[in-house]
Amino acid sequence: TCIVAGVELAKPHGVTDEDEALKAVLEEAEDLASHGVSTVYTVWVPRPGSYLRGQKNASLDYYVRLAAGLHELRKKYNLPIDHDDYRRCGNHPDSDLGRLL
């Protein structure tokens, strides 16, 4: 399944701390992984004209830590991600780690 990563930090209802957001997202992803569901993400971009416009996106560090965390969950639960990689879809920056690491 795919999540839109970073939107969990959006105002007015998102969390304000990246560490807290990362912990929550990885806990949810682990719950899914424990049931055989792999999680990938797309990067949230606050678009002009959208309800969440004008907000700051999460940091690059946040996305790197999220990618590493999701990769570790895939390894822990032996979840393949071969259906979604850079050759098939460039929208999920974390899904190629299995090939690279």
For 44-68, the pLDDT digits (tens) are 999 999 999 999 999 999 999 999 9
Instruction: Return the percentage of the chain with pLDDT > 90, whole number.
Output: 66
For 75-97, the pLDDT digits (tens) are 999 998 766 555 555 566 676 66
93 alpha-carbon distance from chain centroid = 9
**Rounded Cα gap, residues 81 and 93, in angstroms:** 12
3-state secondary structure (DSSP) of residue 79: coil
Residue 1 has pLDDT above 70, yes or no: yes
pTM reported for the whole predicted model: 0.86
